[in-house]
């Protein structure tokens, strides 16, 4: 579909045989990132006791993420607040910018979400090994399992661990892609049924747009909270 196609903007850039051209995907990432920065800059410029609207929203985002981290990963995860906050804001704004007409949804491409998820996966693994050394491997060996079953359980645990980045990335990508495809299909119905029958799918697509905005927020939330949960597993070893 046209709205998912990636095309180059400007000159082709090749570095060491890798195509690094600026595409519309990169453009919309830059747009999302600049909206976040502008929004937070304006929101934190005047530090009033009684905040104005923008400051209020910026502070709400801050407390929302801070509460999420302290609830799921505890106080040890405080140093990772900047990372999780930027991750949440980036995914949220990419999803939301994608809801605008004629825009491009960066998160509806699996390579974008997979890169983020793999980065989180590797980072969490490194943090785990750095904090606990080789003891971190004990997450693959649950306690209280009969010795006979231990090799089997360990393999299952390893597969379960490796499935984390896949489920993290596929969930975000599939939800965004499916939502936009559904909107497109209902939009197509409006055209093909014309003036007589087109009103019903039009109503549906309005309702679905509302649902999509909810999903856009929810998926950013789920992405961030799962990162917190994985971080919690790496920071606090107990099974």
Partner 1 sequence: MTIPEDFKTRLKIAKKKIKKQIENDSENRGSFMGNAFKLGTELVAAVAVGTIIGFILDNWFDTKPWLIIIFFFLGTAAGILNVVRTANRMQKED
**Closest CB to partner 1 among residues 50, 134:** 50
The residues, any chain, with a CB within 8 Å of residue 196's CB and separated by 6 or more, are: none
**Closest CB to partner 1 among residues 34, 167:** 167
How far is 221 from 70, CA to CA, in rounded Å? 15
**Closest CB to partner 1 among residues 99, 202:** 99
| Contact residues: partner 1, CB under 8 A | 49-50, 152, 155-157, 159-160, 162-164, 166-167, 170-171, 174-175, 214, 217-219, 221-222, 225-226, 229
CB of 108 to partner 1, least distance (A): 15
**Closest CB to partner 1 among residues 81, 161:** 161
**Closest CB to partner 1 among residues 164, 180:** 164
CB of 117 to partner 1, least distance (A): 10
CB of 64 to partner 1, least distance (A): 10
CB of 166 to partner 1, least distance (A): 4
How far is 217 from 39, CA to CA, in rounded Å? 17
Of the candidates 151, 146, 35, 131, the residue with the CA atom closest to the CA atom of residue 92: 35
Helix then strand then coil, in percent of the chain rounded to 5, is: 80, 5, 20
CB of 49 to partner 1, least distance (A): 7
Question: Within 13 A of 99's CA, how many CA atoms are on the CB side?
Answer: 19
How far is 14 from 16, CA to CA, in rounded Å? 7
């Amino acid at each position: 579909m046209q709205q998912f196609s990636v095309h180059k903007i400007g000159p082709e850039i090749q570095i060491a045989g890798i195509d690094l051209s600026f595409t519309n995907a990169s453009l919309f990432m830059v747009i999302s990132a600049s909206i976040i920065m502008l929004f937070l800059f304006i929101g934190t410029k005047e530090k009033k006791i009684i905040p104005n609207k923008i400051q209020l929203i910026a502070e709400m985002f801050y407390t929302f993420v801070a509460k999420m981290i302290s609830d799921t990963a505890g106080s040890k995860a405080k140093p990772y607040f900047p990372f999780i906050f930027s991750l949440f804001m980036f995914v949220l704004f990419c999803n939301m910018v994608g809801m605008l007409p004629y825009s491009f949804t960066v998160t509806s491409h699996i390579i974008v979400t997979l890169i983020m998820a793999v980065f989180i996966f590797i980072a969490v693994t490194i943090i785990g090994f750095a904090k606990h050394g080789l003891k971190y491997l004990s997450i693959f060996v649950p306690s209280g399992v009969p010795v006979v079953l231990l090799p089997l359980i360990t393999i299952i645990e390893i597969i379960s661990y490796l499935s984390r980045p896949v489920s993290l990335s596929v969930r975000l990508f599939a939800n965004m892609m499916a939502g936009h495809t559904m909107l497109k299909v209902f939009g197509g119905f409006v055209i093909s049924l014309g003036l007589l029958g087109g009103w019903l799918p039009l109503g549906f697509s309005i309702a679905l747009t509302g649902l999509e905005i909810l999903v856009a927020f929810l998926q950013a939330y789920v992405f961030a909270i799962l990162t917190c949960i994985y971080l919690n597993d790496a920071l606090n070893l107990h099974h």
